[in-house]
Every structure is written in C-alpha cells, then in structure tokens.
Chains A and B, each alone.
Chain A
Amino acid sequence: MHRTHRLVAAAVAALALTTLAACGGGSVAKVGGGNSAPTGKPEKGGTVTLAEVGASPNDIFPLLPATNSNGYNGDLTLGSWPWLVYSGDGANSVPNPQESLYSSLKWSDGDKVITIVLKPWKWSDGTPITSRDFTFVYNLLKTNYNDWFDYVDGLFPVDVASVATPNASTVVINLTRSYNPQFYVDNVLATIPLLPQQAWDKTSSTGPVGDYDQTASGAKAVWNFLQAQGADMGTFATNPLWQVVDGPWKLSQFQSSGYYSWVPNTNYSGPDKPILSKVIWTPFTTDTAEMDTLRSNTTLDIAGVPLNDVRQIPALEAEGYSVAQVPNPGVAEILPNFYNPTAGPLLRLLYIRQAMEYLINRPQIVSKVFAGYADPGNGPVPVLYGQQFDSPLEKTGGPYQYSPTKAIALLKAHGWKVVPGGTDTCVRPGAAASDCGTGIKAGTPLTFQLLFGSGTASFDQQNAAFQSTESLGGVKITLKSEPFNTLVATTGTCNAQSHPAATCDDWQLEQYGYNEYLMDPSGAGEFNTDANGNYGGYSSPEMDKLIDATEYGSSSAAFFAYEDYAAEQLPLLWLPNASFVFVYKSNLAGVTPLNPFSGLLNPEVWYYTKSGS
C-alpha cells in the first residue's frame, strides 16, 4: 500500500492482556495472544490522546466508494464496525477467533462452501447480530461492487454463487469455485464488516427501514443513501445511523480537520470492554509538529516516531515514554521495467537481477538508514511477522545475501567486463550460457536509472546506498526523484500487451515504497502475469502456476514453493521494509504486543496504571 496510515494509526493493536479483575467488571482477560503484563494497578477511565500525521478521514460508511482512496477512513470506522474475521492475534499473522464475529467457520464441498456461525453478539441498540446482517452487506455489494473501493477483481462478491441463511446465526456461502481456505479467510473474509440491517436498510433519513436491499434497485438506492450520509462530515458524530455499532467504540466527536474522539460502546458484546473513558485522535500537519509536541511533553499519550527522528527516542524515554515497533505488513522493493526499450532487455535476464540483488547491502540499510527498525527484505514475505509463511530459505537470509564478489563473478561468467566503481560493458554478446544474453550488443553499458518518490529522507538515503553498493559491481545507477503522486500518475503498466507504449519508455527502475499485504502474503495480484500490481511486466508461467496453487489449491506446501521461487526469480529487487515505531506513555498498559494488521490501535485493551493517568 502506498498510502500508509501514518504513525499511530498504522498498525498497532494492543493485544496484551492480562487480567483486570480489580477494575469494575472489566474482564479484559484475553485479546488473543497478548502477553505483556501490565505494571501497576489498573485504573478505570481516563483519556488517551493519539497522534496521526496527515490524517483526515472523510467517509464514515465502512464500505468506501471506489473513488475514495483515503486510507485513514479505516481508522475511523474499524473500532465501530470490525470485520467478520479479525486480522492478527497479538503479533501473529493469523485470524483472532476471540475478537472475530464468527464462532465457527467450516469449509466443505471441496472448499467451495463456507458455513459461518455467528456469535450471539448484539448491536449497540440491543438488536442481535444475525445472518441477515451478512446478507445485507452481500446484497449491497452484489449490486454495487464496482463502486466499492475494496473490491478485488473476481473475488467477493462476484465469486459467490449464492448465500443461504438457514437460521439467524448461520450463513452458508456457496462459492463459484474452490479456494484455498487460508487465502480466502485471511484475504477476503477479513475485509468484510457486518452492517446493521435493522437500522441502515433505508433510502432516506426520514423513511422507514425495510428490506430494500433484496432487490437490485433497492440495493442501489440504499447504497446511494448510505454513501451520501457517509460523506457528510458535518454529521459523522450526530447522525443516528453511525451510532449503531458492534465494535467496542462509537464516535462522539468529529471535526473536518481530522480530530475525533471515541467513547465506549456500553453494549459491546466482545471480550474486551473498553476501560478508558475516551480516546482522542488528534491530527498533525507534519512529523515535525508531532515530534515537537512529544518533546514538549504536553498532550500526547501515543504517537509515531518518524524514522528520521529515532535518535530522539532516548530523550522521549526520559520524558516518560516507552517505545514499541510494529512490522509493516508488506514488501518493499525496486520495481524493474521489463519492457523499457533500453533497460528491459537487460532486466529480463535473471543473472543481471541476481547480480543487482547481491549488490544490495540490505543489512546495512536496515541498520544505517532505518536504525534497525525494518524487515530485512529477504524475499517476498517479511520475516519479522510472517511466522508460518516464512520458508526456511527466507528465514536464513534469502537466496541473495549481500556479496559483491558473487555479483562480479556472475557478471564475468556472462561476458561482462566488470569495472568496480565504473560502468560494466558487455564484451561477449550472444545467447549462449556464458554470453551476455539475447538482445545485448557488444559494448552495452550496465546502467539504469532509478526513479523514486521525493520527500522522504529515508528513501533518499536508501537509494543513495543502493547506488553506492551497485557501483561496487560496476552497475551504474543514476537517481531521479519526483513527487510521489506525479510518479504514480506517470507510471504506466508495462507488459506484453501494452508494449510498446510511451508510458513504458520513461522509467527503468522504480522505488515507491512497499506493497501492502493482508494476512496471507500471497503473490496474487503482484507477480502473476497481468496482475493489477505487476506494473513492470514480469511474466512466468511457473510463477502463475505456483501463485494459483496458493490461492485455489489446498496443499500446505504450496506457499513455500511459491515463496522460494519468487525469492529466487526476483520479479522485484527485494529491499528492507521499514517498521512503524511508536512511543507511548509509560503508565499506559496493554499497548504491546502490536498487531501489524489491525490498521488502527485497539484502545479497548489499554488502561492506565494507578501511578497516574
């Protein structure tokens, strides 16, 4: 994801927990896997103020329209309308059954049918959460999926043949094809919230609630009504629609500046009733403004620390803050353009990409650029949080650990005159195994331009390091930066279909951040031929087959097979991926361990200790 939820909002989840027996009925016992023990006696109530840099949510309806790419809206809504499957259990990349809305989820008929039994939880208005709430969501999306931002081509709801509700707590989904259950649960069901049909199935503010969603025209009218209401920022905190929630929090105040606050949903049915009495989200224009506030020890209880400022952490600790980091759920990379007229023929050669990867000093980038707060980028799956998805190859550093010697040997073995510090040239053109390769003429220089988004100091440093270490093998890199949105706007997808195209001509290598993963770090949508995220035109029938096996197959070995193949074939050049670093007031308990997937903090499990609030 290229629009990160900056700072606090990014990921965190506070899943600690512990016991809180002493505090007035708050059985916060379990939020899945948390194990940080609070220090000090819990205190009921209190307000936590969180910082968000650049945050300005602008839509409260949980099913965002397709033209709204504001990633901060999830922060606004997830505390009130959680997804059917709760992503992340503590720091583990698995579903969290305690926090999820289902009590059981079974697959049958060759993994084509899912039977979901819902927990006997209630909406904040006292109405039970039922299977009708699921069909409400399904009906809305079935008619309007083209206008739903989270819709992924071919997946929910298009892949659903029918939905049955044998009783009020059971949903049976018949899919049009078999899926790998892990993929579907992690990457599809964990993006769908349940919505209160009994309160939202209407077409106007004053009209009655009905079953409008059951016809296409009705579903369209309901969708349009809810979208219009959801975009009316002036009424976010007052509109009765948005007061019906099933999450632990409800909105109590909202300002268009991005300042808003939550108060507990007193009817929350889940295991973790909020202990705090209020959570305030306060916006900052820049990292600098936020850091100044932190250093002044004024109003913030939890805030992100920009990577450029991690050296101020000791000073913040002296001001009474503790530090935590949460891995960024994604993979960072340099994207090769396989169809650039000049660089494409070079980049299509695996040994060139291998030599370039050998020349990336990833451990140095982690330690010097990201001060240690980054995933090493050993391959397509992050090792900091991937756990069950990490193959032995990735765990042991990946196939191409930094080695200029190996890079130089590889280039020499393929007919290049290597000039460390200069520019290599092809001296043995031809298609034989020991030649430069098809389409490479004698004298061709090994040089590329790296285009990247400007304005991020850590990217500047990382790319300068990349340029520097590549030169050790004679690979000459020139750097060019552009404003991030300009880079996005001008990057055309280059593949066999689009080539030749003008949009393929103006970039060779590109570095723009990272690709976001859901719980299952599948390569679907990234590395398969014609994938939406495959802008550089990488294509391999073997890769397509391996990715299909992770998405549609049932073999537990399929994922490692895909992962190792991708790590070795280098559809992208792997880079370290920076983590999010946070500080929080030391008397605030329950903040860690952090959940990479929650997309927002989980303040329902936080509390102040008696030493102060």
Chain B
Amino acid sequence: MTWYLVRRIGQSVAVVIGVMILTFILVHLEPGSTAKAVLGLKATPARIALFDNTYGLNRPLPVQFWLYCDHVLHGNFGVSYTAGQPVSSLIAQRLPRDAVLLGASTLLALIIGVPMGLYQALHHGTVRDDVVAGTWFTLYSAPDFMEALLLIAIFSVHFHILQPNFPGGITSVGGLFGDLNAMVLPVVVLAINSVAGFSQYMRSSAIEELAQDYIRTARAKGVRQRVIFTRHLLRNAVLPIVTILGLSLPDIVAGAVIAEAIFNFPGMGLLFWQSALSHDFPVMLGATLIIGVATVLGNLVADVAYGILDPRIRHAAT
C-alpha cells in the first residue's frame, strides 16, 4: 500500500506541473494586449508600458514562467490585474464558502440519491423504478438556471418564504451559517443535478451486486434482508459512488458559475469566469492550479478509498 501511495503521489505531482506549464502557455496565447484589456481602449502607449512593467509582462515568456514558478513555490500566486488583490486572498475568500455550499449540496444529493438508487435496484423493472428514474432524469435534464429561476419565482417572489439569494455582505463561512434561509435554494438546485447521477450509479451497481453469488448465498443461509442490504450490498455497491465523490472534488473547488451568478454568491466559478473574460492571468493561473491540484487529489483520494474498500485493488497494486 505504501509503494502504491508513493507512486500515485508522484504521478499527481507530475500532473500538477504539467497543468502549470500548459495553463501558462495557453493563457499567454490569448490574442491581444493584456494591458489594453484591463485598462480599456483608450489606454495610451505610456500607460500600457507602465502596466506591462508593473506586472512583468514586458519580460520574455520563459522568464515570466520561471518567476511565476518561483513565486508559487513561495506561496505567492501574484496580484489580480483587475481586483488589485493577491490571488491567494481572492481564492482564500471564496474557496471555503464554495466548499460549504457545494459540500452541502453534494451531501444532500447523496442522502437522497443513494437510498433512491437502492430502492430502484430492489424494484428494478417495475413501474416504481421507472417513475423514480423518470422524475430524476427530468430534473437532471432541465438546465440548472431554469430550475433556479423557477424555484425563486415560487418560493421567493410569490410566497416570500425563502430568500432569493445571498445578501451581498456575506464574505465568510460563518456568514453563510448566519443566514441559512439564503442557503436553501442554491443547495437544493445544485443537489437536484447530482441526485440523478448518484441514484443511477447506485442503482446499476446494486443491481449488479444483487445478482452476485455472495448475495444469493447469504439469502440461502437465511441472513436477514436488512443485514444483506447494509452489510453486504451497500458496502460493495457504493464503490462507484466513492469514485464519483473523489472526482467531484475539483467541481467543488471550481465552483458553480451559474448558481453563483443567480444566487449572488461570488465563488470560485465566477472568479475564474470573470478572470478569463478580463485577461486576468494571475487569477486564471492561480485558479487553474488549485483546480488541477484538486483534480489529482480527488483522484488520489478515490483510488486510496477504493483500495481500502476493496482489498483486491490494494493487493493487485502491490
């Protein structure tokens, strides 16, 4: 297991370095003058030169990359061209809030999706299976912005029960918990789109496991149905969900741009999107790096968890 871990971590580091190089090249391939994009059409040549000098954009690209790597290794992601703040501060403000919001929605989706998948597996091929699957697929196929606006129209505009979005002043995780009413709609909207995935993975996996010999044997031995489900079926059927959860880590870090836009929740998604639109390279590079790290970390966690849950994988790797 130790060697397996070392090998996977080594691969992850290589991937992150690759992401850094690729992202740096790609953002600098963007056409046009960065200074002009930030300062506007009327930026004079003198002002453009000042901007380029301030941010080191007048240096050769390899030198810029070398300096960027040096700064990153020292924990310095640079300063946003548009916000004028350190990129690390911008990310630090947004990431914990995104983690709470998207973590809560993922948790809600799991709480609904896993039992729903099991229920469908146990009734697979019946009308109940079809109704549940149809319902969640309908919700899954609907655009999340439409669901968001619909729920806001019903619960906020019409009935005035829930807040339509987060108040502008919330900047901390504590602030989110201080206004739980505002969290309801975004968490629900984000969860809706995940439930179908979780439930269908769970359903397929459970159907497959239910056909396995060890389940049949357990039943033949007279093991109680509840014990079969919880001790045998659930543990084995949940493996694909672990993989999905691991892979959803970068989603949590990358934010949810549409939900953030509609629910007035300035998170990583909007930060990344706006930085891409405004040629804000330091933010783009910082956000991409964080997302890249989250991606390899998520994969790593999924692999390790998979190994813990399924000893066959662990042994095969050693």
Q: Which residues of A contact B (CB under 8 A)?
A: 1-3, 51, 56, 58-59, 66-70, 146-147, 153, 231, 233, 255-259, 282-286, 288-290, 292-293, 295-299, 483-486, 488-491, 512, 525, 532-533, 535
Contact = CB atoms under 8 A, between A and B. Distances in A.
B32 A255 contact: no
A70 B82 contact: yes
Given A231-B84, A489-B32, A293 B50 contact: no
A296 B169 contact: no
Contact of A489 (B31, B83, B263): B31
Given A284-B264, A289-B165, A489-B34, A2 B41 contact: yes
B261 A255 contact: no
Interface in B160-184: 160, 163-165, 167-171
A147 B50 contact: yes
A231 to B, nearest CB: 6
Interface string B25-45: 000001111101111111010
A452 to B, nearest CB: 13
B262 A292 contact: yes
Interface in B120-177: 149, 152, 156-157, 160, 163-165, 167-171
Given A489-B36, A489-B279, A512 B41 contact: yes
A66 B31 contact: no
Contacts of B167: 282, 299
A475 B31 CA distance: 30
A605 B216 CA distance: 80
B108 to A, nearest CB: 22
Nearest to A289: B264
Given A286-B262, A292-B165, A67 B54 contact: yes
B36 A70 contact: no
Contact of B157 (A58, A68, A292): A292
B190 interface: no
A257 B51 CA distance: 24
Contacts of A293: 164-165, 264
A574 B165 CA distance: 39
Contacts of A525: 42
Nearest to A484: B277
A67 B82 CA distance: 9
Contacts of A231: 84
B83 A288 contact: no
Interface of A is mostly: loop
A68 B167 CA distance: 27
B278 interface: yes
A63 B44 CA distance: 18
A485 B262 contact: no
B266 interface: yes
**Interface hub of A256, A258, A297 (most chain B Cβ within 10 A):** A256
18 contacts: A2-B41, A67-B47, A69-B40, A70-B82, A147-B50, A282-B168, A285-B261, A286-B261, A288-B261, A289-B264, A295-B156, A296-B152, A488-B40, A488-B41, A489-B30, A489-B31, A489-B32, A489-B279
Nearest to B266: A285
Nearest to A532: B42
A1 B149 CA distance: 32
A297 to B, nearest CB: 7
A488 B279 CA distance: 11
A234 to B, nearest CB: 9
A153 B42 CA distance: 12
Nearest to B280: A485
Interface in B1-56: 30-34, 36-42, 44, 46-47, 50-51, 54
Given A67-B38, A70-B84, A299-B167, 19 more contacts: A67-B50, A69-B39, A231-B84, A256-B93, A259-B168, A283-B168, A283-B264, A283-B266, A285-B270, A286-B261, A286-B262, A289-B164, A289-B165, A293-B164, A293-B165, A293-B264, A490-B32, A491-B41, A525-B42
Contacts of A286: 261-262, 264
B260 interface: yes
Nearest to B261: A286
A289 B36 CA distance: 30
Interface string B186-199: 00000000000000
Nearest to A49: B168
Contact of A259 (B31, B37, B44, B169): B169
A485 B41 contact: no
Contacts of B34: 489
B85 to A, nearest CB: 7
A483 B40 contact: no
Nearest to A486: B32
B265 interface: yes
Contacts of A56: 83
Interface string B260-288: 11111110001000000111000000000
A293 B84 CA distance: 29
Contact of A69 (B33, B38, B149, B157): B38
B260 A285 contact: yes
Pairs of residues from A and B, 9 with the lowest C-beta to C-beta distance, nearest first? A489-B32, A282-B168, A489-B37, A490-B32, A292-B164, A289-B264, A259-B169, A58-B84, A485-B37
Interface string B230-270: 00000000000000000000000000000011111110001
A289 B41 contact: no
A257 B266 contact: yes
B47 A535 contact: no
A293 B157 CA distance: 8
Contacts of B31: 486, 489-490
Contacts of B54: 67
A507 B42 CA distance: 17
A39 B167 CA distance: 30
B54 to A, nearest CB: 6
A298 B89 CA distance: 31
Contacts of A296: 152, 156-157, 160, 163-164
B270 to A, nearest CB: 6
Given A285-B260, A289-B262, A485-B278, A532 B44 contact: yes
**Interface hub of A2, A255, A282 (most chain B Cβ within 10 A):** A255
B36 A58 contact: no
**Interface hub of A59, A284, A484, A525 (most chain B Cβ within 10 A):** A284
Given A298-B163, A512-B41, A289 B263 contact: yes
A283 B165 CA distance: 12
A176 B164 CA distance: 58
A156 to B, nearest CB: 16
A257 B169 contact: yes
